[in-house]
Structure 1
């Protein structure tokens, strides 16, 4: 079927909180979902890369989706449900749908490095079987293989393939995908906070954002300005957020963003092995960046930290 699903705006890629005994902290997870919803985001994305999906069991994965769905009132939940195995990704997608997810985010198969035909068949298998809007996620730095524009454009014609999360860092390819899918019910979303403004400028619809976990109001203000065509205001917001964008990727995501939440919120700093806590020198840098935002208006700040 054709879904009437709006993929415009900012969708935080949520962290998964763990307690000191390595168990999921569902109380904090629900509170975090409610905090982000109250900040005005367009939707939430649990159990993606930022949510440490690679270290969750399938049952834990589904329970996280259920908890976020239950916690929010008015925003859609886009569940990460990808895998390097098509069979496993299909099973996770079916379970996420049963758990109440409104849409799915599907990372491309990692490690296997399939050819473009294999990528196409992977996504079509899930799109044919699961009747939810689905977002194709391209992040070759994690998967070892990029999804080429021709493949994305081909997939965009499927009624259940609703969008594309662009984290390949290639604005030429991203712009080509936007250009060639303008006649489709298809949204291109930034998957790289530092490139959200340029991607919106070429026709992107918003972002699945790490930074929005920490500064949701400012991130929403930047994207809203970009989508409204207010270039000067969007550029100002982008530069205000630039130090945060850089600090949140000084180590592997989600190490810095989890630490940022621990600094800012009543949030546990624990990650699952093999991820480790943020190095002390990077924590000092991150804390300096966050201090520059604290006490400032929610949509503007003078940030001079490196």
Structure 2
């Protein structure tokens, strides 16, 4: 599992119900674009706003729809037992791996985090991608990631949504140095090329919902050693990632950008999140015009 993986938005109707037809259309679009993986119930998918039953429904629907890419399912929760249940469900429906952020809300010490992931790994068999996102949950240190990777073969990689090249470097050097098959992905569009350059395996990046052609161009150019083209694409991604600074939330940024680009997915977020108004939309429109033409 390598390359460009898309953390899928969850489309909603105006009444906040799941827009299944828009979901089907978007998954088809991404597969036709050639992305390498699709990740449902992601942070970008507003998973904390979904019920337990909705998360299972989306996981099952995604498994039905994703036929030409790796299929990842998010199973994070503040409740370890719920994570185990959701991870077993992902395993049972045939997902390629589960992506698990640390418990959120209450800060946890490393021993508690180790116990959390240990219990999950010991009670499931599906490959697990750790999800390090310090802005939303307890951070995963390099040493904790290494300890988990060396103790549990099912802990197969990490998604690093952390604005630190040094941290990603240390994970690649220290964890991959002892476990060659451990995967390292960035969660930040602007860190895609630097992660590849350091020896990482790809990215799980939200802007690929509306501009996967840029991410895929960077990936192909890097793999084929056309480094000037890779740099040109990386500069576009760096500018494109400014979309997050324009909106009040990542969900609003991505869905407004999709709306500007003509996707059928509505700029509707479930409360407590709200989509920004016309002023923000126009700023996003200007950014996309500058980067994408």
Superposition TM-score, scaled by structure 1 size: 0.90
Moved more, 279-288 or 159-168: 279-288
2:226 is the alignment partner of 1:233: no
CA contact (8 A) 2:12 2:265 kept: no
Equivalent of residue 269 in structure 1, options 267, 270, 275: 267
Moved more, 239-248 or 120-129: 239-248
Q: CA–CA distance in 1 between the matches of 2:40 and 2:225?
A: 30
State the 1:172 CA deviation: 1.1
Tell me the SS of whatever aligns to 1:136: strand
Q: Between 23-32 and 226-235, report the one with greater CA deviation.
A: 226-235
Answer yes or no: is 1:112 the counterpart of 2:106: yes
Rounded Cα–Cα distance in structure 2 between residues aligned with 1:66 and 1:239: 37
Q: Matched residue of 2:43: which SS?
A: coil
Indicate the SS of the match to 2:250: coil
| Rounded Cα–Cα distance in structure 2 between residues aligned with 1:161 and 1:26 | 31
- Contact 1:19-1:270 within 8 A present in 2 as well: yes
Match of 1:224 in 2: 220
Distance 1:99 1:282 in 2: 39
Q: Could you tell me which residue of structure 1 aligns to residue 203 of structure 2?
A: 207
Equivalent residue of 1:239, what SS?
helix
**Do the aligned partners of residues 111 and 227 (structure 1) sit closer, same or farther apart at CA in structure 2, a change above 3 Å counting?**
farther
Correspondence 1:121 to 2:112? no
CA distance, structure 1, for counterparts of residue 245 and residue 123 of structure 2: 36
Choose the corresponding residue for 1:195, options 185, 191, 195. Answer: 191
Query: What is the CA-CA distance between 1:241 and the residue it aligns to?
Result: 2.6
Provide the alpha-carbon RMSD of the alignment. 1.5
After TM superposition, list the pairs within 5 Å mapping 1:128-277 onto structure 2. Answer: 128-143=122-137, 145-157=138-150, 158-182=152-176, 183-184=178-179, 185-251=181-247, 252-263=249-260, 264-277=262-275
Partner of residue 296, structure 1: none
2:69 paired residue among 75, 91, 104: 75
Contact 2:217 2:233 in 1 (8 A): yes
Give the Cα separation in 2 of the matches to 1:233 and 1:187.
25
Identify unmatched segments of 5+ residues in structure 2: none
**Using the alignment, how far apart are the partners of 1:246 and 1:277 within structure 2?**
17
What is the SS of the residue equivalent to 1:220? helix
Deviations 1:203-251 (A, max 9, x none): 1111001011011111111123334444322111011233221114433
Aligned residues: 288
Give SS of 2:284's match. Answer: helix
CA distance in 1 between counterparts of 2:162 and 2:40 reads 21
Instruction: Flag structure 1 segments of 5+ consecutive residues without an equivalent.
Output: 1-5, 294-300
Q: Residue 62 of structure 1 contacts residue 99 of structure 1 at CA under 8 Å; is this kept in 2?
A: no
Tell me the distance in 2 between the aligned counterparts of 1:49 and 1:106: 11
- When the two structures are superposed, what TM-score results if normalisation uses the length of structure 2? 0.93
**Cα drift, residue 161 of structure 1:** 0.7
Runs of 4+ that moved beyond 4 A: none
